[in-house]
Amino acid sequence: MDWHQLKQWLTMASGLDMDALHVHAGVVCQIVVALVLRLRLSSLWPWAAVAAVAFGNEVYDFTYEVWPTREEQFFESVKDVWNTLLVPTLLMLLVRWMPGLFVAPSAADPGEAGADPGEPRE
């Protein structure tokens, strides 16, 4: 089974279209690389691994399939890279620049514990 057949099988087995698989694969790849390399999601390396896999996949697709209009095929590849990298990029940036979004409030912070999330903090 070659790479193209594996992707076709994943589409059929999951019930997801290829665009959704790109989104899922990007996030899963980022998390797996971070776990294997024991890096934080804020590190550039897991994101770079997703980017390398996404671009490698698109190079493969561009050479495996030849569409009647290469321009349309090129823009489809751009869309696939966008779908694959959007969530990992947002996740990396949020974890890096807004880490408080990913940490439970501590009991030592009286303004957080048991506070109504709809009320503004003082």
Percent of the chain's residues with pLDDT above 90: 64
- Looking at residue 110, its pLDDT comes to 60
Between CA 114 and CA 117 the distance in angstroms is 9
- Note the pTM of the prediction, 2 decimals: 0.80
Lowest-confidence pick of 11-25, 88-102, 107-121: 107-121
| Mean of the per-residue pLDDT values of the chain | 88
The residue whose two tokens read 């998390």 is: 31
The residue whose two tokens read 């495996």 is: 64
Helices (H), 1-122: 3-14, 18-37, 44-64, 70-97
- pLDDT tens digits, one per residue of 12-36: 999 999 899 999 999 999 999 999 9
- Looking at residue 2, its pLDDT comes to 87
CA distances from 59 to 2, 56, 83 (A): 15, 5, 16
CB atoms within 10 A of CB 103: 7
- pLDDT tens digits, one per residue of 62-94: 888 888 888 999 999 999 999 999 999 999 999
